[in-house]
Structure 1
């Protein structure tokens, strides 16, 4: 009730904007998380539980429908849950990063710009980071990456930083449930500031725990640090199908930092947003889990009910002649019957199992269809779901079969590509701004990423097509061919080319004159033959 009194009426997001001058999300007397973000955070939590297969606190339709009947306890004990979201969410990430993308600066392979770019990519393991971001965005709809300049390891427990350790540009993922953006005035997608806010429970000397809110407010070129003390007794919110805690901000306290405002030296926000699927109506991304959430609930309920029906059929109620109230099992026993007595039998009922299995098949097919993922992609299908996907061998046919999932991967890759390139560019700006001792200054370049679709390529088919189209002329140089075939960058391709040239010199075929050139006996024979020729000429004269 108290939360509803504090809650204000929302505006129509489709045609209206909200502007609050000189006001931040976190101030004394306000609530954390902010009320406007509760629905978004609840969606994140439901998606996480759905992905992890934790259905304990998620809706169960059959139990809710039969909660006032004796069946509810049996359904709860027989509840089955199938975690289809796991394999569906991981497949785009597997296709996108099964082959490492190439990061290029547009400079020579041995240039400082390309060497630094390759070093940043290698040190931050961008392929593993990208797979993690795609999976996280599929669960929640949003992913964020944060770029900063610091030590990669945490040396807070040491009295000093070990010798030889240098600060570097770090790119890492940021949990979306800790990110609270502030929109620019008149915009639904542009951020004027991005807040990273997390609750920290501190153990006091008297043994009591108190919650504190640490806020890291990112602006273009600056970072502002703040710290607040919270009320340890939160309000419990259950409006959005999950249990949420909302704390009251009591007061602002010192951060214990040397400077609460730090200049980054980069005229950009260090936090980059990656939506899984974006629209022009709001900045929030749309996840895979929210599209199939109700279907997953229906599948689990149907599996539970089928299991319940089969268990009831395995132990049906029997009826027959009165055996003087003696309870016995029917299996393996001989029961004598009289003419006027009723033959023993079982009570059976029509559980509509065929219809139940048909609906289950339809629900599973709908999950894959809504997810834009062919069911045969996982090596098996249920019912008539479009074949197995193994009858096509040429490249064009395979790509045609993979078209739904490839289109989905390309859409996700568009957002990943922009965020990765921004973060790599920011990393170059940060290390140039830091200008550590011994660092060679260079001009930061906005990189280009060469992606692969993750499908097996038919190189022979591709080479034949290229040969026909060009009339037998070469269409690719050695460097590019090596880069494309093996997924290498310029420096790695250059090293292979140099090794190939050395092997070519070693394998060069020797000509006969090469042996004579270095054979001393051959030279002697030539010199001895010349006088004989002169003597022959004199005799002829």
Structure 2
């Protein structure tokens, strides 16, 4: 039930179709539209930058290229809203992710271990790129690792992660180049009889085809590489890897790209703007009009000097004019009527944002001047925030699952006995707030008893270290105790006992 690579093209079926789509959407995101759109390709062929363009993927070029308009020596204009659609959820989630710690207050060793996993994995630093890849590719994978740095996990692109058909295993596969030779490396994980086996494989490739399997030890020795030995982990019934799909359905469980359904609209936006640019280039430059008599005078003079009738711009720097008729040179400017074209582009942009569930205000369209409260901004951004919240829930579950698997792997290989539990991932608001507005909200939450003092201090000072936050909490508690009627800090006044007549 494992994947067969030998004598097959890489990536193996049935993942080859999906990987081809992933490459398509990556070109769309990166703005390499000459690789995927036929009109961009035709225009690129006629420009002097054609030699710098990578080989187009003919699979995506439409068949009716005879109808493509041609305009020589003009640059194809790319106004790539597709990149904004993919990056906006990543921006919101990157801002929202907060502290990650073990779900315990007494187990200091587990707290330190989870903190090390967080530090080595660089969860906060890598979350933006992981979400962007998740949106573009339609999913993102992760893999648990244990090496000299410690136990941690890393994000992997979707086109490197292949599940086995029986759902009891998965391959993390990638290409390695050694000089002119090309190799396929595979880390295969399989669940068998209440144990997990992790196997390292290497194959020699011939072009895009996997040729033969090689001995991994000889491969490592030849190129001086280090790879963990094959391992069998008893008592583990989970894979040390996983996959986070985007907008998955029952028919497409590996997820779908967040850029789907907007590629044709993106092409039409680019082409409309490019067409207007071509028109402006041809007709937008002012043209100098001179009287016929003046042209004949200058042309006859050049004919006498050079043997040919022509007029140069330099010939008209100093000219005479007809005093009797008042004929003087003048510039003719083109009064272009392109309002409808601009409105067409605006409609297309609105369609693209609606289909991709992206708020226009979030990408800088239809914004208003003046300061606004966070609540008003939230309602303007609500569509993008709702979309980002759904993506955040997937990554919240993936981060918790990955850290929990790190604990399992450490217990299996590190002779530890940590309780296997998910960490606590704290999330902040996705939209920024003014300091005064944020302080008021956090203070009200604490006063009403719905939020702890430590969480309040952490939300008010998200850039502080854990030591600084705990020190601030202790300082606040001491001041509260000093201002209270606690007998520990405030002693009652001294009194004398007995009759007042006694000496």
TM-score, normalization by structure 2: 0.74
Q: Tell which deviates more after alignment, 273-282 or 115-124.
A: 115-124
The Cα of 1:356 is off from its aligned counterpart by 1.7
Which residue does 1:134 correspond to in 2? Answer: 131
The Cα of 1:369 is off from its aligned counterpart by 2.6
Please point out which of 234, 240, 244 is paired with 1:270.
240
Does 2:204 match 1:229?
A: yes
Alpha-carbon separation, structure 2, partners of 1:533 and 1:175: 91
Instruction: Give CA deviations for 1:387-418 in whole Å, capped at 9, x if unaligned.
Output: 438664263x3332221011111111121112
* Maintained 8 Å contact 2:443/2:456: no
Which residue does 1:288 correspond to in 2? Answer: 258
Alpha-carbon separation, structure 1, partners of 2:442 and 2:172: 51
Alpha-carbon separation, structure 2, partners of 1:346 and 1:255: 76
- Unpaired runs of at least 5, structure 1: 1-21, 153-167, 185-190, 204-208, 235-246, 518-525, 527-531, 535-541
Which residue does 1:170 correspond to in 2? Answer: 152
Instruction: Give CA deviations for 1:337-361 in whole Å, capped at 9, x if unaligned.
Output: 999xx99999999975222222122
- The 5-angstrom pairing of residues 50-449 of structure 1 reads 50-61=28-39, 64=42, 72=70, 74=72, 76-108=73-105, 111-152=108-149, 168-184=150-166, 191-203=167-179, 209-220=180-191, 221-231=196-206, 234=207, 247-256=208-217, 261-265=230-234, 266-313=236-283, 314=285, 321=292, 326-328=309-311, 353-378=338-363, 380-381=364-365, 385=366, 387-388=367-368, 392-393=372-373, 395=375, 397-435=376-414, 441-449=417-425
* Maintained 8 Å contact 2:85/2:259: no
Alpha-carbon separation, structure 1, partners of 2:94 and 2:456: 20
* Maintained 8 Å contact 1:201/1:212: yes
* Maintained 8 Å contact 1:226/1:260: no
* Maintained 8 Å contact 1:318/1:345: yes
- Unpaired runs of at least 5, structure 2: 47-64, 221-226, 300-308
* Maintained 8 Å contact 1:295/1:367: yes
* Maintained 8 Å contact 2:411/2:418: yes
Instruction: Give CA deviations for 1:435-475 in whole Å, capped at 9, x if unaligned.
Output: 25xxx5321212232322322353466479769xxxx8654
The Cα of 1:477 is off from its aligned counterpart by 4.1
2:170 counterpart SS class: strand
The Cα of 1:195 is off from its aligned counterpart by 1.4
Which residue does 2:223 correspond to in 1? Answer: none
* Maintained 8 Å contact 2:121/2:152: yes
Please point out which of 23, 26, 41 is paired with 1:48.
26
TM-score, normalization by structure 1: 0.69
CA 332–465 in structure 1, closer or farther in 2 if over 3 Å, else same: farther
CA 312–459 in structure 1, closer or farther in 2 if over 3 Å, else same: closer
Q: RMSD value over aligned CA atoms?
A: 4.3
1:433 counterpart SS class: helix
* Maintained 8 Å contact 1:148/1:171: yes
Alpha-carbon separation, structure 2, partners of 1:268 and 1:501: 44
Aligned pair count reads 445
CA 317–277 in structure 1, closer or farther in 2 if over 3 Å, else same: farther
1:183 counterpart SS class: coil
Instruction: Give CA deviations for 1:295-329 in whole Å, capped at 9, x if unaligned.
Output: 22222212221111112212669798585574335
Alpha-carbon separation, structure 2, partners of 1:70 and 1:372: 31
Query: Which structure has the larger Rg?
Result: 1
Alpha-carbon separation, structure 2, partners of 1:480 and 1:70: 60
* Maintained 8 Å contact 2:247/2:255: yes
CA 446–302 in structure 1, closer or farther in 2 if over 3 Å, else same: same
Tell me: higher relative CO, structure 1 or 2? Use CA pairs within 8 A at least 6 residues apart. 1
Alpha-carbon separation, structure 1, partners of 2:423 and 2:42: 54
Alpha-carbon separation, structure 1, partners of 2:204 and 2:439: 66
1:268 counterpart SS class: coil
Q: Tell which deviates more after alignment, 300-309 or 454-463.
A: 454-463
* Maintained 8 Å contact 1:63/1:72: no
1:172 counterpart SS class: strand
Instruction: Give CA deviations for 1:249-268 in whole Å, capped at 9, x if unaligned.
Output: 32222111798742245321
Q: Tell which deviates more after alignment, 326-335 or 132-141.
A: 326-335
